Amino acid sequence: KNQVEQSPQSLIILEGKNCTLQCNYTVSPFSNLRWYKQDTGRGPVSLTIMTFSENTKSNGRYTATLDADTKQSSLHITASQLSDSASYICVVKRGNTPLVFGKGTRLSVIA
Amino acid sequence: KAGVTQTPRYLIKTRGQQVTLSCSPISGHRSVSWYQQTPGQGLQFLFEYFSETQRNKGNFPGRFSGRQFSNSRSEMNVSTLELGDSALYLCASSSLTGGYDQETQYFGPGTRLLVL
């Protein structure tokens, strides 16, 4: 079954700290993996897209990694800010079929 | 460029009614996808349109339908509303100029539908 599992479901960290969010997938055939950030009341915004041959990609303080052999990805947030409070959604594309979404990790950054 | 716009932003309906939601993609984008987002299920794919043709459809009942117009604007319709249809409905557009595999989807703010 084509699935995307994310952990943890929720996370609370202090401002300035780093954190890592996890994504495991069983989607096949794999085309690419995306991380989205969704602020409350808004639509998701793309952070990174990685294909099979890429194992790391950065977007500012966000760094995504991909291990296509173990079918795992992580999103590392450095020096967190209050504005990082959001849901982070891992999404896998399977060939030319629609995207498969994880249920997201709810991150709260507190002062 | 203006982003993806969706109307209305909020909607309250009662069971059995029908509803039509509208999405205007980013100018020049010809692909529009619709998603349903609920707290329990997360984001689920409804359908995708490209140049007025439905290219993919998710596992939703026939009460959910959509269409795309020649100007790429899209509408989705839900008939005979049920309580479980309460959700955030998101529309996303993409240009596909970079190839289907790498295209970035740009999401609208969504329409929050509440069915009473």
Please, what is the average pLDDT of chain A?
A: 93
Cβ separation of B45 and A45 shorter than 8 Å? no
Tokens of A91: 């999404």
The dihedral built from the CA positions of residue B108, A103, A31 and B46, taken in this order, carries a sign that is negative
Mean pLDDT, rounded, for A57-84: 96
The percent of residues above 70 in pLDDT, for chain B, comes to 93
Q: Would you place residue B67 in the very low, low, confident or very high pLDDT band (cuts 50, 70, 90)? A: very high
Q: Is A25 helix (H, G, I), strand (E, B) or coil?
A: strand
Q: What pLDDT was estimated at residue A1?
A: 72
User: Rounded to 5, what percent of chain A is helix, strand, coil?
Assistant: 5, 60, 40
Chain B partners of A32 at a C-beta cutoff of 8 Å?
Answer: 101-102
In this structure, what DSSP letter does residue B72 have?
A: S
Q: Give the minimum alpha-carbon distance from B51 to chain A in angstroms, rounded to a whole number.
A: 16
Q: Which of A31, A32, A43 sits opposite B90 (nearest CB)?
A: A43
Q: What pLDDT was estimated at residue B105?
A: 87
Q: Which of A43, A93, A97 sits opposite B110 (nearest CB)?
A: A43
pLDDT digits (tens, 9 = 90+) for B8-65: 999 999 999 999 999 999 999 999 999 999 988 889 999 999 989 998 899 999 999 9
Look at A25-29, A80-84, B22-26, B49-53 and tell me which has the smallest mean pLDDT.
A25-29
Q: Give the minimum alpha-carbon distance from B11 to chain A in angstroms, rounded to a whole number.
A: 14
Residue A15 to residue B90: CA distance in whole angstroms: 30
Mean pLDDT, rounded, for A20-36: 92
Of the CA atoms within 13 Å of residue B47, those in its CB half-sphere come to 21
Query: CA Rg, chain B, in Å?
Result: 14
